[in-house]
């Protein structure tokens, strides 16, 4: 005979809270995402809007231009100094290590004075690397001293900004002379313009003669 009073009630172990289940949390988040997307579809007349993309802020490329070092070289630059530098340039590169020589292969001397030279690079990244390579700069200056008997200061620029630098230099030096010539009826070519035209050629990019 089974007595009702002796019937045991099965013990039910409580399931862990749903919030503590990682799978449940992922499922809940997915449902919410789909629900939000459905609301956007309804709001757009049944058209699924494109996903919102976070706009990346692209840092502008910095052109490494040391005008304080460049302008004095331009002020004393001569065509003969540049010719002499170009003549020894291949030999100078031959004195460098293989890795440094490879970097300098994309460079070209563009102006020279007795105390300084300006070298342009096709790519800004090489300008930055060369400027930060103290050993390379030392090798270049030592090499020039060995080949020419001089140890000029070497300044690096990017080739696509070099014409602008020349033009800016011309305009800055012309400004005082233009003020003095306002009373004159006959325009005159400032000496600095004639000099740089001789160095780089009248048809060189951005070497223009203006008489404002």
Q: 156-197 pLDDT, tens per residue?
A: 999 999 999 999 998 888 766 555 555 555 555 555 555 666
User: Domains of the chain (ranges plus CATH)?
Assistant: 62-160 (3.30.300.180), 162-212 (no CATH)
Residue 142 has pLDDT above 90, yes or no: yes
Residue 211 has pLDDT above 50, yes or no: no
Residue 153 has pLDDT above 70, yes or no: yes
pLDDT at 34: 78
The answer to whether the beta carbons of residues 167 and 207 sit under 8 Å apart is: yes
pLDDT at 172: 87
Q: Name the band, by pLDDT with cuts 50, 70 and 90, for residue 154.
A: very high
Q: What DSSP assignment string belongs to 67-135?
A: HHHHHHHHHH--HHHHHHHHHHHHHHHHTS-HHHHHHHTTEEEEEEETTEEEEEESSHHHHHHHHT-HH
pLDDT at 23: 76
Q: Which DSSP state fits 202?
A: T
User: Rounded mean pLDDT of 55-61?
Assistant: 44
CB-count burial class (<10 Å; 0-12, 13-18, 19+) for 120: buried
């Amino acid at each position: 005979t089974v007595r009702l009073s002796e019937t045991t009630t099965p013990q039910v172990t409580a399931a862990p809270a749903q919030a503590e289940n990682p799978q449940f949390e992922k499922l809940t988040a997915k449902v919410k995402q789909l629900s939000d997307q459905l609301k956007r579809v309804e709001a757009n007349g049944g058209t699924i809007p494109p996903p919102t993309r976070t706009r990346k802020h692209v840092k502008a490329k910095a052109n490494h231009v040391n005008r304080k070092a460049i302008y004095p070289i331009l002020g004393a630059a001569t065509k003969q100094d540049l010719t002499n530098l170009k003549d020894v340039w291949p030999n100078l590169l031959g004195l460098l290590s293989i890795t440094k020589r490879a970097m300098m292969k994309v460079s070209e001397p563009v102006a020279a004075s007795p105390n300084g030279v300006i070298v342009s690079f096709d790519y800004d990244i090489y300008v930055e690397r060369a400027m930060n390579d103290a050993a390379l700069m030392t090798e270049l200056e030592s090499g020039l001293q060995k080949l020419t008997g001089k140890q000029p200061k070497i300044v690096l620029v990017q080739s696509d900004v070099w014409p602008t630098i020349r033009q800016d230099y011309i305009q800055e030096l012309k400004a005082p002379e233009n003020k003095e010539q306002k009373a004159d009826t006959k325009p005159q070519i400032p000496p600095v313009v004639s000099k740089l035209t001789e160095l780089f050629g009248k048809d060189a990019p951005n070497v223009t003669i203006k008489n404002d």
